[in-house]
Structure 1
Amino acid sequence: MSNSAVDVRTDADGSVVVQPHGPMGTDCAVPFRQILVHTVRKVRPPRLIVDLGDVPDVDPINLGTLAALCDLADDHQVVVFMENLSAEVATQLTAAGVPRQRFRAIGQPAVG
């Protein structure tokens, strides 16, 4: 993600969508975590959707961040979904402890 961005938008229903672009490595771990934590703790939307459709690979630090996000969001009554996952990223997230119930639209090939 060093040469890419994270888009954040609020949908009409109040859901916040966070969409990172490119491989998620250690270079983006801190800013990505800050966006997610700020959204859950301060914005507190009814739903937080992490759109991983443009993410071909997630490193272990960011996998841990996404797993921890689920517990943090539960504590703040924010529903979290991860959508547009490639099958490979879904497998990585499951191994990191993210419940499959959090996944929507699995199986699309990742861009990149």
Structure 2
Amino acid sequence: MAEWMMNQRRLADGTVVIEIRGEIDVAHADQLRSQLVATATAVRPVRIVVDLMHVTFIDSSGIGALAAGQNAARSVGVGFAVTNPAPFVRQQLRMMGLTDTFGVEG
């Protein structure tokens, strides 16, 4: 199992970028969900970008965490996008029909 890590940084334009490394599965989905929802509702940045470049695996609980983050962002008028998904992650999002929903970039 890959080491899990999540970092958050704010860009000059007010965007918050959340970078994730490792696997987004049942062991980490709640932590990601909490971070995304709190960022959307408490910080209220201009936009949230979830960078998945270094994510090696995502399951339904991870996809659910992304959906919860997007829903929270939408409810308070914050933009939301997923960027740089690794090939496996992109394939999972595409199979679920979520690439457009999550504004997948890169």
The normalised TM-score by structure 1 is 0.82
Q: Percent identity?
A: 31
Determine the C-alpha separation between the residues in 2 that align with 1:95 and 1:48.
Answer: 23
More strand by share: 2
Deviation at 1:70, TM superposition (A): 2.1
User: Which residue number corresponds to residue 5 of structure 2?
Assistant: 5
Give the secondary structure class of the aligned counterpart of 2:57.
coil
Q: What stretches of structure 2 of length at least 5 have no aligned partner?
A: none
Root-mean-square deviation (CA), in Å?
A: 1.9
User: Which residue number corresponds to residue 21 of structure 2?
Assistant: 21
Determine the C-alpha separation between the residues in 2 that align with 1:68 and 1:96.
Answer: 15
Cα 1:30–1:83 shift into 2, 3 Å: same
Q: What stretches of structure 1 of length at least 5 have no aligned partner?
A: 106-112
Cα 1:4–1:87 shift into 2, 3 Å: closer
Deviation at 1:7, TM superposition (A): 0.5
Determine the C-alpha separation between the residues in 2 that align with 1:13 and 1:88.
Answer: 30
Please show how residues 1-112 of structure 1 align to structure 2 within 5 Å: 3-100=3-100, 102-105=103-106
Q: 1:67·1:97 contact (CA, 8 Å) conserved in 2?
A: no
Give the secondary structure class of the aligned counterpart of 2:94.
helix
Determine the C-alpha separation between the residues in 2 that align with 1:13 and 1:92.
Answer: 30
